Amino acid sequence: MKSVLLRSLYAEHLRVKSTVAFKIALLAPVMQVAMNFLIYMFNYTYFVEKNDRQIWSTFTASTWGFWCTLTLPMLIAIQTALVNGLEHNNNGWRNLFALPVPRSSIYAAKLIYACLLIFLSQLLLCGAEVVAGYTLSVIRPQLGFQHQAIPLVLLLTPLAAMCGSMLIIVVHNLVSSFSANFFVSTGAAVVFTLFNLILVNKDELAVYYPWTYPQLAARFVIYPAESGTLIRAVVAMNISLIGAWLLGILGIMKLSAQKQIA
């Protein structure tokens, strides 16, 4: 079973690596950091006047705040729709199901690969963020990046955000597996993200809405001393991981019982 899953994962990578989905995984985090980089570069006087003594944390919070609240939910929907969309074209599902491979391995490979793509994007975001910070220390020394060492704990942000986003990934992977319409998954993501923008800063409600979980998890890593961040992060990551596990099993069972996928 393990070798079958690994072969399925490798086959999935060969199919996806030359597609738009893989390119988006590489470009989205770089563009996100570039946008924040330009804000700090051209509006540096604002941050200098604030006399921010935690400039790395502030830069990280602004980058990941936008990423987790807006970019990441949309990226997940687009990635899963594109990856599974390959199978909805030219009878891809039917051809896959004709292979001597368990359907559970096919679905699991697609889900795991989608998770790996999203995690790759988050690792790239973290790396690009470090490069941007050190670049700003050279071209905008007034900001003070060079006077502070980057807190190593911030490097855990991708892992925290990934834990918080697992349930979202499984939901969109399930939707895009059974719907050939690209706009079903992305349209749902737009609606969910709009509610996310409203609820993410409402502490008493955010823990009940899974689309806020990446931000809640990441914020604890960035500001661990902030009141309430620990309990919200723990709740968010636990619900996300447990929910993803249960929904993933449900998806495998449903796909295994499905006679045909549109």
Domain ranges of the chain: 2-257
Do residues 193 and 70 touch, judged by C-beta distance below 8 A? yes
Tens digits of per-residue pLDDT, 137-188? 999 998 888 888 888 778 899 999 999 999 999 999 988 888 777 788 888 8
100 band by pLDDT with thresholds 50, 70 and 90 = low
Do residues 55 and 144 touch, judged by C-beta distance below 8 A? yes
Q: What is the 3-state secondary structure (H, E, C) of 166-177?
A: HHHHHHHHHHHH
Considering only residues 262 and 127, tell me which one the structure prediction assigns the higher pLDDT.
127
Tens digits of per-residue pLDDT, 233-242? 999 999 999 9
Give the burial string for 87-115 (b: 16+ CB within 10 Å, else e): bbeeeebeebbeeebebbbbbbbbbbbbb
Do residues 175 and 184 touch, judged by C-beta distance below 8 A? yes
Tens digits of per-residue pLDDT, 39-65? 999 988 888 887 667 888 889 989 999
Q: Kindly give the interhelix angle for 103-139 and 72-88, rounded to the nearest 10 degrees.
A: 140
* pLDDT of res. 228: 85
For tokens 């929907």, the residue is 77
Of 172, 198, 197, 168, give the one whose Cα is nearest residue 185: 172
* pLDDT of res. 5: 74
Predicted TM-score (pTM) of this structure: 0.89
Cα distance between residue 128 and residue 170, in whole Å: 27
* pLDDT of res. 88: 67
128 band by pLDDT with thresholds 50, 70 and 90 = very high
